[in-house]
A and B are shown apart, each in its own frame.
Chain A
């Protein structure tokens, strides 16, 4: 009991904002980048990549996220083979995309598809921060828009997990316009009375934060996720004062009325499942 209290104290001693996170090492043991707690990697995965010591939420790949949420064997991916062009002819952009494709085994920064949560149909989009920092270019915008259109056609709820540094610089103003493109689709979804749930994970910033991520019927976030529009450094330079440590964390947004809930990963599937149930059962 007393020991438990001490561990709990430690939980609040560190704040993850702004630090560079490492991927979970592939070794047998994994060391938490926050509290240095060492876990057997297999155990860590079983715990949905959450540190048992400090509850730090490790970044999740899109594949891991889908596995943790969608009923086994029910997921069908959409547009898996869609890839970016190089509209601004940016040097090195094609090579960088190619490198990320090899590294992540996915073709772009979002995976979309249809599946079931506890037997109920949903349309899902999961952003993947390992691919170009989850940044949104033409492909991310198009895949999300198409997924929303699928949700409209099949009259399912639309659920998105965001993880993004914002607009993709290398696609310039085309990236900016993806904010508008996904928004016109979301407006149509809303117009049909369909459910849209947004779950912001670390990090959700810039143009993604200022478009679909923030306009869910329900806006949720994972604990301590960095969420905001402008970068911390830019704000500090502009207003010439230091920002509080918890600035732009999920908890900060909750306090300022920007989120419905902060949801621990272990509660995620249950919460989403219940909400989907509330929206699909007993409708007249």
Chain B
């Protein structure tokens, strides 16, 4: 049973009421069909209005939903013959990032993504999807391998961020992230990134320098978590809801800021309601993106990535109005 989200409560209450009426009708043999029909219409309207006017904080709740499909779920639906590959060859294997080779519709590809756990035990093993340096280095190793064999790369982004730990610093968290950014910039194969859940800061960006970057409708991408932003800005982590509004972290916000390419529509109520259907929605966008990149030369791919990132930012000049690029 999906955990109830606060903004969905009126929907769940109405659903409960309809169910009660139905069982009442069966038990007492009274015809309540009209009443039920009326309520079901009301429910449908309520769902439409709730899910079409979602607030940033509502989306944060969906992006973090315990049952939200993960990288491995989507791999299962989107690719065939997936073989997972482990380790960075330097220190260890970080299970907060998974990667491997597979087919995408007869085309050999490399797939890499952050991986959250489905339960507490798995979350401990995967460190809640928060990578250490060896995770980024494994990812880079697999990207370089993909480049060698001329395979396109798909990256699925879903992390609260890089793990803030002592060992992570000792082993060069900064360098590992920075290295990925620079190396991804120069990859001679198509790179397509999709934010499927939370895109938390540098830990997300380390898998995020692509020719295309798409976001699921209810995913988020931010420089800091809403809680972190609230703690810094108002010295109060409980102001996270307000921070989520002002930090512009939702897919529509990022589209408006010119950072992402496409918003991938979600199943009504969020990807967790129907992972298989969600995979189909992702599939359409992946196919289109890949199609447009496969005809590009190595040099064109690198230049396209250069131009894409070069134009992100807003600035102006003294004695001049601010130029919005």
Which residues of chain A have a CB within 8 Å of any CB of chain B? 81-88, 90, 107, 138-139, 141-142, 145, 167, 169, 171-181, 183-188, 190-191, 206-207, 209-215, 227-231, 234-235, 238-239, 241, 243, 247-248, 256-258
Contacts and interface: CB of A to CB of B under 8 A. Distances in A.
A181 B312 contact: yes
Interface stretch (B43-51, B143-151, B169-177): B169-177
B162 A229 contact: yes
Given A83-B315, A169-B232, A186-B182, A229 B168 contact: yes
A181, A186, A257: residue with the most chain B Cβ atoms closer than 10 Å: A181
Contacts of B306: 184-185, 188
A234 B164 contact: yes
Contact of A177 (B166, B170, B309): B309
28 contacts: A83-B322, A87-B314, A138-B312, A142-B315, A167-B201, A167-B224, A169-B229, A173-B257, A174-B259, A174-B312, A174-B313, A175-B223, A176-B205, A176-B222, A181-B312, A184-B209, A187-B182, A187-B183, A187-B302, A207-B223, A209-B178, A210-B202, A211-B181, A214-B172, A229-B169, A235-B164, A256-B172, A257-B172
Given A177-B313, A215-B179, 18 more contacts: A85-B314, A85-B324, A90-B246, A169-B229, A172-B249, A173-B221, A173-B248, A173-B249, A173-B257, A176-B223, A178-B312, A181-B309, A187-B182, A207-B223, A215-B178, A229-B162, A235-B166, A238-B164
A138 B162 contact: no
A181 B258 CA distance: 13
A191 B249 CA distance: 33
A229 B259 contact: no
Interface majority SS on A: helix, strand, loop or mixed? Answer: helix
A184 B293 CA distance: 18
A40 B324 CA distance: 48
A277 B181 CA distance: 29
B32 interface: no
Contact of B313 (A142, A228, A229): A142
Contact of A215 (B164, B175, B312, B315): B175
Given A173-B249, A180-B209, A230 B168 contact: yes
B174 A214 contact: yes
Closest A-B pairs by Cβ, 8 of them: A138-B313, A230-B164, A183-B181, A187-B185, A85-B322, A184-B185, A209-B174, A214-B178
A83 B248 contact: no
Contacts of A243: 166
A229 B185 contact: no
B89 interface: no
Contact of A230 (B173, B229, B254): B173
A39 to B, nearest CB: 34
Contact of B171 (A141, A188, A210, A256): A256
Interface residues of B, number: 58
A123 B163 CA distance: 35
B39 interface: no
A85 B222 CA distance: 19
B121 interface: no
Contacts of A179: 178, 181, 202, 205
A142 B309 CA distance: 10
Contacts of A191: 186
Nearest to B186: A187
Interface string B153-165: 0000000001111
Given A84-B315, A167-B223, A174-B257, A210 B174 contact: yes
Contacts of B179: 214-215
A127 B249 CA distance: 27
Nearest to A258: B172
A238 to B, nearest CB: 5
A230 B169 contact: yes
Interface string B98-118: 000000000000000000000
A239 B166 contact: yes
A55 B16 CA distance: 72
Interface in B305-324: 305-306, 309-310, 312-320, 322, 324
B222 to A, nearest CB: 6
B87 interface: no
B233 interface: yes
A153 B296 CA distance: 25
Contacts of A230: 162, 164-165, 168-169, 173
A83 B316 contact: yes
Contacts of B170: 256
